[in-house]
Structures are given as C-alpha cells and as structure tokens.
C-alpha cells in the first residue's frame, strides 16, 4: 500500500503525524481512523517504520558499538552484536554507576596488561566513560588504569586523556570517540573507530613504533604530536615530528611532516601544509537580554539567543576544519540535563542578505564546566567578519556560556590550508 493523501478531501493525518504536532482535534480524528480503518492502520505502521529507517540510515553508525566478544562474533551478524553490546554497555554502566562494589570487582578481576592510566576526564552527569574488555564492562574515572584490549567509549560531551606508563606519551580523546587500546609486545596499538584523538607521543623504542588504525587508514609514529580524526574519512594533522600514513584503499605509505595534513578522502597521495589559528570574538553576548556580560545566555522561554562575532581578516588559504568551542558555566535544569543547541551563521558578505543558516547542532546532555564544541562546515566561513547565533530548542534548559569577558572565552579554532604542498613518498 502506498503512502498517499486521503482522496484529496483533507490532510493525510497519518503522514502528518510523523511530520508535525497534530492539534488535539486532529489527533482524535487520527485515532478514530486507526481504530476503525484497517487501511489507515497499515499506513500508520508503514509510515512509522519508514520515518525511523530514514533516521537510522543517517545515524546507525553513531550507535553501533565496537564489537568485543570474539565468540559471539563468529555466531551472530554484526547488527545483532551491536545491539547486544549496546545493551551490555548499558547494563555495565548501570552496575558500575550504582554498584560500586561490583565495579571494583570487575576492575580487580582484569588480568590484562596495564598500559596506561587516566590523567584527566570530564564526565557529564548521567553518563559514563565505558570500558569493555573480553566481555567485562566497567567505567573509567580519574586515575583508572587502562588495560591492553580495552575498548573505550567516550560519550558526546565528555572527554578523556590518558598517559602511558613509564613515559610521557599522552592521548586525548574527544566526546563521541570509540577507541581500542592494545599492547603488542611493548609496542603501542590504538584502533580509532570513530571520533578524534590528539596525541603527544614520546620517542618510542627502536623497532617498536606506535601504530594507530582507523577503519580506512593506518598511521605509524616514532615520536611526535598529531591529531587523528575519523568522520566518514580519516584525517591526520601533524604538529611536530613525522607520521607515516597509509590510506588502506591506496595501499602506499606517505610521510606526513610537521605542519602537514593528509586524509583518506584524497587517497593520501598528496599532503598539504596547514596552519592552526584560533580566534576570540570581537563582540559577544545576549542581545535580547539584560545578562551579566561575562556570560552568553540562551533560553527559549525568555527568547534569549547568544551572539558571537569574529573578525577573521585575511586568512590566506582555504579553511579545512573549523570548530567553535564554548565553555558551559551555568545552566537551569528546568527540563532535565539535555538540550538541543543549534548554531547558526549569519552571512555578512555583501549581497547575501544577512540571512541565518544552521551550521551545527548538538543534541545531548550538557553539564557545568563542559566544553561544548561545534564542528562547522568550513565552506560557511571565509575572510573577514562572521557572526554566529546560538539557540536552544523550545523545551530545553537555559544554558550560560562564558563570554569573551568571562573566565574561559569562546574560541573559533581554524585549520587553514597553506600553499605549500608535499608529494607522498
């Protein structure tokens, strides 16, 4: 049965139900149809599953977890495993969060090699940085140890950094990261499934380089600082030293030097140089409200929206990555701890009419002292001034970010391609 309008005589309430909020009267009409009309019931079920599938198509990867139990891998299909792991993680989070004794026992039972220790972490209320190893589930906190074989999930809005034992190598994982840690006879191994890592790697023993893998790339490191990001493709930024980089599809390694970047989207045959720049707003605040100038407040109920204006000047190259980082200072939990925060850009270029366009969206928990980081489409930015507006969807809480006059000013972090290019070896 096809999804269709109802004989052209009125709105198709079945279709509308999944597109907008119906009025009380419309909802009653729809329920009458569902009670009395088999065709409407069938269309309702079909419309619901189609709507869900369309969302699942765009977000399925976000909720699929790293597989960790080899025995089950052989016997079940990936999606079933992923759902099972998600459930197990949930249960693990529950137990570790609410039954400390069990968490301690799980941690004490782990006999895998300890490779690193948590140096710093930020965890939102109601969430946990989960760690799974050989089917056992726990959570990471300050000073927790990290074992070979650990699969770590850092939820959106949280962050984790850890240092390897007996050396200064430090890894920082951003929110939304899934990474597995392993030790291969003293050589460090990381598998970054999703998200981003910043690494500061001390000089490694001869013959034992640190190796990082992503779904479509590998990197080999002897001692350097770099960032590795997985979002569709894999992108590497090297800030010091040198990293060997392999795009698996191409099959050949390139050496990426300090100040250069490579990504699997370009096949890593050619690396480009880049420059990191950070900007603070020239003007920011809450235009509609009488708000302490140390804060940028967003509150749908009082119609508060945040505003930030940056002067980027002459950038001298194409922007390849743009992030806006805001520090959450306060919040009102009128509606619980989560929120839908949307970031819009106002086009200030001549002839563009000054219209607003959404460039980023954060949906999830928010907590005090959290850095809320928006990844912005680089094409939305260019030379000169740019202005952002921050809004919260109706029904959210109100959030207060530090302004440029507050203790942790907003930062616009840009990576800009410079003209120099290097050929892959």
Residues that bind another protein (CB under 8 A): 2-5, 12, 15-22, 27, 30-31, 34-35, 41-42, 44-60, 63, 77, 79-80, 82-84, 86-87, 90-91, 93-95, 98, 335-336, 338, 340, 355-358, 361, 363, 394-395
Q: Closest distance between another protein and the C-beta of residue 190, in Å?
A: 27
CA 263, CA 287: separation in Å to the nearest integer?
A: 40
Q: Closest distance between another protein and the C-beta of residue 8, in Å?
A: 13
Judge whether 408 and 401 are in contact, CB under 8 Å. no
CB count within 10 Å of CB 407 equals 9
CA 411, CA 125: separation in Å to the nearest integer?
A: 25
Q: Closest distance between another protein and the C-beta of residue 17, in Å?
A: 7
CA 244, CA 221: separation in Å to the nearest integer?
A: 7
CA 397, CA 333: separation in Å to the nearest integer?
A: 5
Q: In terms of DSSP bridges, do strands 210-214 and 187-201 run parallel, antiparallel, or are they unpaired?
A: parallel
CA 267, CA 364: separation in Å to the nearest integer?
A: 34
- Give the end-to-end CA distance of the chain in Å, rounded to a whole number: 58
Nearer to another protein, 292 or 340 (CB): 340
Q: Closest distance between another protein and the C-beta of residue 379, in Å?
A: 14
Q: Closest distance between another protein and the C-beta of residue 51, in Å?
A: 7
Beta carbons within 8 Å of 172's beta carbon, 6+ residues apart: 159, 160, 161, 197, 198, 199
3-class DSSP state of 62: helix
E strand or H helix that includes residue 356: strand 356-365
Hey, which residues does 275 pair with through a beta bridge?
A: 416
CA 364, CA 6: separation in Å to the nearest integer?
A: 37
Nearer to another protein, 275 or 303 (CB): 303
Nearer to another protein, 2 or 206 (CB): 2
Query: DSSP string spanning 277-333?
Result: EEE--SEEE-TTS---TTEEEEBTTTTB-EEEEEE-----S-EEEEEEEEEEEEEE-
Nearer to another protein, 260 or 344 (CB): 344
Nearer to another protein, 200 or 387 (CB): 387
Nearer to another protein, 73 or 165 (CB): 73
Q: Closest distance between another protein and the C-beta of residue 93, in Å?
A: 8
Judge whether 340 and 396 are in contact, CB under 8 Å. yes
Beta carbons within 8 Å of 164's beta carbon, 6+ residues apart: 115, 116, 170, 188, 202
Q: Closest distance between another protein and the C-beta of residue 265, in Å?
A: 18
CA 47, CA 6: separation in Å to the nearest integer?
A: 14
Nearer to another protein, 72 or 294 (CB): 72
Nearer to another protein, 3 or 73 (CB): 3
Q: Closest distance between another protein and the C-beta of residue 172, in Å?
A: 26
Q: Closest distance between another protein and the C-beta of residue 359, in Å?
A: 10
Q: Closest distance between another protein and the C-beta of residue 43, in Å?
A: 10
Nearer to another protein, 82 or 414 (CB): 82
Q: Name the token pair of 308.
A: 């930030």
Nearer to another protein, 123 or 210 (CB): 123
């Amino acid at each position: 049965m096809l999804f269709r309008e109802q004989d052209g005589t009125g709105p198709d309430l079945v279709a509308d139900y999944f597109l907008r909020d119906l009025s009380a009267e419309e909802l009653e009409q729809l329920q009458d149809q569902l009670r009395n009309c088999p065709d409407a019931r069938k269309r309702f079920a079909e419309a619901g599953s189609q709507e869900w599938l369309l969302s699942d198509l765009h977000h399925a990867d976000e909720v699929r977890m790293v597989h960790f139990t080899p025995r089950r891998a052989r016997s079940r299909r990936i999606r079933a495993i992923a759902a099972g792991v998600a459930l197990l993680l949930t249960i693990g989070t529950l137990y570790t969060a609410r039954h400390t004794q069990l968490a301690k026992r799980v941690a004490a039972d782990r006999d895998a090699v300890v490779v690193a220790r948590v140096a710093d972490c930020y965890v939102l209320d109601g969430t946990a940085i989960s760690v799974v190893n050989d089917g056992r589930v726990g959570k990471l906190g300050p000073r927790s140890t990290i074992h070979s074989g650990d699969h770590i999930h850092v939820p959106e809005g949280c962050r984790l950094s850890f240092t390897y034992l007996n050396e200064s190598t430090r890894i920082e994982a951003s929110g939304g990261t899934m990474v597995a840690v392993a030790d291969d006879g003293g050589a460090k191994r990381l598998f970054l499934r999703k998200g981003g890592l910043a690494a500061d790697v001390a000089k490694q023993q001869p013959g034992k380089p640190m190796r990082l893998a992503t779904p479509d790339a590998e990197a080999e490191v002897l001692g350097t600082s770099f960032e590795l990001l997985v979002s569709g493709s894999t992108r590497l930024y090297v800030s010091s030293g040198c990293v060997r980089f392999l795009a698996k599809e191409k099959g050949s390694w390139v050496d990426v030097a300090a100040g250069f970047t490579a990504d699997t989207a370009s096949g890593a045959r050619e690396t480009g140089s880049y420059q990191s720049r950070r900007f603070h707003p020239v003007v920011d605040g809450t235009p509609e409200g009488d708000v302490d100038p140390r804060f940028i407040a967003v509150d749908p109920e009082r119609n508060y929206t945040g505003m930030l204006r940056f002067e980027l000047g002459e950038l001298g190259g194409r922007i390849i990555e743009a992030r806006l980082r805001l520090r959450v200072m306060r919040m009102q939990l009128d509606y619980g701890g989560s929120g839908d925060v949307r970031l819009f850009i106002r086009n200030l270029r001549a002839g563009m009419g000054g219209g607003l366009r959404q460039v980023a969206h954060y949906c999830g928990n928010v907590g005090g002292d959290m850095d809320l980081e928006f990844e912005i489409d680089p094409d939305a930015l260019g030379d000169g001034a740019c202005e952002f507006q921050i809004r919260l969807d109706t029904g959210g809480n109100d959030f207060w970010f530090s302004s440029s006059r507050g203790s942790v000013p907003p930062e616009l972090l840009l990576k800009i391609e410079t003209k120099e290019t290097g050929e892959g070896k």
